[in-house]
Homo-oligomer: A and B are copies of this chain.
Amino acid sequence: MTVEPKSPESVLAPPIAPKGLLREPPPTDRGARRRAALIAAARTVFEREGYLNTRLQDITEEAQCSAGTFYTYFKTKEEIFAALLETVQEEMLHPGVGGQVTDAATAYEVLEASNRAYLKAYRSNGKLMGLLEEVALVDPVFGELRQRRADAFVSRNARNIADLQKRGIADPDLDPDVTARALSAMVSRTAYRYFAASRGRKRVNFDKLVETMTRIWANALQITP
Q: A174-B212, A178-B209 are in contact. Are A137 and B133 (CB under 8 A)?
A: yes
Q: Name the B residues within 8 Å of A209 (CB-CB).
A: 178
Query: Distance in Å from the Cβ of A91 to the closest Cβ of chain B?
Result: 24
For this chain, the copies found in one complex come to 4
Interface contact B190-A182, CB-CB below 8 Å: yes
> For the complex, what is the distance from the CA of A133 to the CA of B211, rounded to whole Å?
28
Interface contact B52-A179, CB-CB below 8 Å: no
Taking A175-B208, A185-B190 as given, write out 15 further A-B residue pairs in contact, using a Cβ cutoff of 8 Å, ordered by the A residue number: A133-B137, A134-B137, A137-B137, A137-B138, A171-B215, A171-B219, A174-B212, A174-B216, A174-B219, A179-B212, A182-B187, A182-B212, A183-B216, A185-B185, A185-B189
Query: Distance in Å from the Cβ of A81 to the closest Cβ of chain B?
Result: 16
15 sample A-B contacts, Cβ–Cβ < 8 Å, listed by A number: A52-B52, A134-B137, A144-B199, A147-B199, A171-B215, A178-B190, A182-B187, A182-B190, A182-B213, A183-B186, A185-B185, A185-B186, A216-B220, A219-B220, A219-B221
